[in-house]
Structure 1
C-alpha cells in the first residue's frame, strides 16, 4: 500500500518522522523488528534505496539498530526513546508557536488559546 507524501520535504525524512511518531505513540515498541528494506519499500511505495537511507539515519540517531543477519530493530535504550519523545514534543510546540507568532498572535493570546482548547472536552 503506497503512502502519500508532500513535496515540501524529502521522502526519506517524511518516512523517518512517521516511524518516530509510531515509536512515540507506542505503536512500535522498544526492540520491535522493523520490516526488511524491501518489505518497507513495498509498503510505502518508494525505492528500496530510500528505505535504506531511512534505516541508516535512524541508526545514526540511535533510534534503530541493525543486527547482523537479523535485520533492523527499534533501540531498547529507554533513555534514547524518552529523549526522542521530548525532541518531537519540542519540535511540534516550536513549530506551532512560530506559526502563531507569524500570524500575529502575542504570547498571552497563544497561551490563552491553548488553555481554552485543553479545557475543551472535545480536545
Structure 2
C-alpha cells in the first residue's frame, strides 16, 4: 500500500477507499482476512489508530466483519460487494463529470469525448 496521500481528504478515508478498490477488483476476495492493523499501519506509514478507524468504518458500512481473536475479514456476501462496486463507480463518474464541467465541457461534449476514448481503447 502506497504512502502517498491526498492532503485534502482524511487518511482513514483514503485507506478505506484503497481497500474498497482491492475488494472490488478481486485483489482481496470475499471471506479473505485483511492484514492486521499493525501490519497495515507499517505498510501505509500511518498511525495504527488511523488504520483501526478505517477498519471500524468499513465494518460499520457492512463491508468487513471482525472476528474476535482472528482478525478482520471481508464479508462473504456478493450483494454487498456488488453494491460497493456500484457506489465506487458512481463516485468516480460524479467526480469526472464535475471536473469536465469545471473546465468548460457540456454534458453532450463530455459524452462524446468519453465515447471517443472508449472507441480508441477498443473496449
Q: Which runs of 5+ in 1 are unaligned?
A: none
Please give the alpha-carbon distance, in whole angstroms, between the structure 2 residues aligned to 1:32 and 1:92. Answer: 26
Q: CA RMSD in A?
A: 1.4
Q: CA deviation at 1:121?
A: 3.0
Is 1:36 aligned with 2:2?
A: no
Partner residue, 1:108 = 108
Q: Which runs of 5+ in 2 are unaligned?
A: none
Partner residue, 1:27 = 27
**After superposition, where does 1:36-115 map in structure 2 within 5 Å?**
36-115=36-115
Partner residue, 1:14 = 14
Please give the alpha-carbon distance, in whole angstroms, between the structure 2 residues aligned to 1:2 and 1:102. Answer: 29
The structure 1 segments of at least 4 consecutive aligned residues displaced by more than 4 Å after TM superposition are none
Please give the alpha-carbon distance, in whole angstroms, between the structure 1 residues aligned to 2:63 and 2:115. Answer: 33
Q: Deviations over 1:1-58 (max 9, x none)?
A: 7611121111111100100001111101101100111111111111110000000000
How many residues of Structure 1 are paired with residues of Structure 2 in the alignment?
123
TM-score where L is the length of structure 2: 0.95
Instruction: Assess if the C-alpha contact under 8 Å between 1:64 and 1:73 holds in 2.
Output: yes
